[in-house]
Structure 1
């Protein structure tokens, strides 16, 4: 006799294939009234031998109470045969839907992740402290590379090009440091100087006023003593 799977958890994930899904499958999921995420169509995933996997969606269900394997099997049966597995990390799975933490895999757009029944995708995709600092560094580098002089410029750029990464940070908790960097750059420009790479340039003459290469040196760890 096959041992019955009695494991219970709140969060379950499964894969569905477009050609097997019934018409109105999204309406079926909506009808469960359970917070859910549906991944973008994964049509560029590859097998170990390099062949392309069959196009599919990942679906994550987030219940308020514990559910058994059999309960989930019975629930999702109308979607034609997907096998559910227990989800160990809702945040990790949400990020996997776009392969955010898997740069070796094809990168899918976060904007194509579908959230329903009250699922808060923005909250689930919030970066860790390490990720946040890295993105702040990216924004500062962008400011220097593109001579951004107004906070509005980077906000508009982030809104149009980095809507799932930079833009939430600028809206929530990184506006002060980024606006301070821009104000410093603008004030220096008003004094007649511009930081261009490693050099502080006199705007009027184009001459190098100071070598700032020390800014870009990274020969020691923060923890090392002088």
Structure 2
């Protein structure tokens, strides 16, 4: 009998641990409603000293019947250790208060975030063209969190960004890589990540080619796109 109870207890323990693991996470998606919060709600949240990412204000979203949704901000809270929904809720209640019904004032119920990239991409509706679109450049990190490190782009999205970057260079007549980097560093952080970590050589060659072409009456030089060196002037 004792042996049977031991097996039953082990099975119960296994079920409990599986359930417990599913309820605990380092990453939580939380929606904030600024009109119900103090003006400095971001600062209050940052005082908790964990990294978090803030999306742009969603003030153009609509319900299925076309009525406007209450303006809100999607966030991703990233803790150093795992937390339960109850622990996250308690922290937010202590920061922003608790209503008579027990809910967090100005904050929706925290949801476990199993895919951080999807949460951050949704902040700008990047994968939902049927919804109101928001600028990914308005997604910001707090306490050291970096949205660009979490965002993942498809091959099509990356190509579209590269084309947009080339057009930006052409339209602004940029002739130095440093000027291009400075121009996009803060206004287009997603471009800057691609430039600085993946395509420095390509854009250096692209800009050098344009500069040499202008210097030689519109005749483009031949460029080694591996090194960015001009190998034959026009």
Preserved CA contact (<8 Å) 1:136 1:174 = no
Contact 1:37 1:115 in 2 (8 A): yes
1:85 pairs with 78, 103, 111, which one?
A: 111
* Partner in structure 2 of residue 29 of structure 1: 45
Distance in 2 of aligned mates of 1:127 and 1:96? 13
In the alignment, the residues of structure 1 paired with residue 77 and residue 211 of structure 2 have an alpha-carbon distance, to the nearest angstrom, of: 48
How do residues 126-145 of structure 1 correspond to structure 2 at under 5 angstroms? 127-128=153-154, 130-141=156-167
Q: Which runs of 5+ in 2 are unaligned?
A: 1-18, 98-103, 221-234
CA shift, 1:142, in A, is 5.0
1:183: Cα distance to partner? 3.1
Aligned pair partner of 2:80 in 64, 74, 81: 64
**Number of residues of Structure 1 aligned to a counterpart in Structure 2:** 189
Bigger Cα displacement from structure 2, 20-29 vs 84-93: 20-29
Cα 1:132–1:72 change in 2 (3 A) is same
More displaced, 39-48 or 128-137?
Answer: 128-137
Q: CA RMSD in A?
A: 3.1
Match of 2:30 in 1: 14
Distance 1:182 1:116 in 2: 33
Superposition pairs of residues 93-132 of structure 1, within 5 angstroms = 93-125=119-151, 127-128=153-154, 130-132=156-158
Change in Cα spacing, 1:182 to 1:73, as seen in structure 2 (3 Å) is closer
1:53 Cα shift? Answer: 0.7
Measure how far apart 1:83 and its partner are: 0.8
Equivalent residue, structure 2, for 1:210: none
Secondary structure of 1:115's aligned partner: strand
Instruction: Check the 8 A contact 2:121/2:151 in 1, yes or no.
Output: yes
**Alpha-carbon distance, 1:43 to partner:** 0.9
For residue 75 of structure 2, give the secondary structure of its aligned residue in structure 1: strand
Compute the displacement of 1:113 (Å): 3.1
Q: Confirm or deny: 8 A CA contact 2:174 2:180 kept in the other structure.
A: no
Contact 2:57–2:71 (CA under 8 A) maintained in structure 1 = yes
Deviation at 1:23, TM superposition (A): 6.2
**Counterpart secondary structure, 1:11:** strand
TM-aligned CA distance change 1:115 to 1:179, over 3 Å: closer
Structure 1 103/188 Cα, relative in aligned 2: closer, same or farther at 3 Å? same
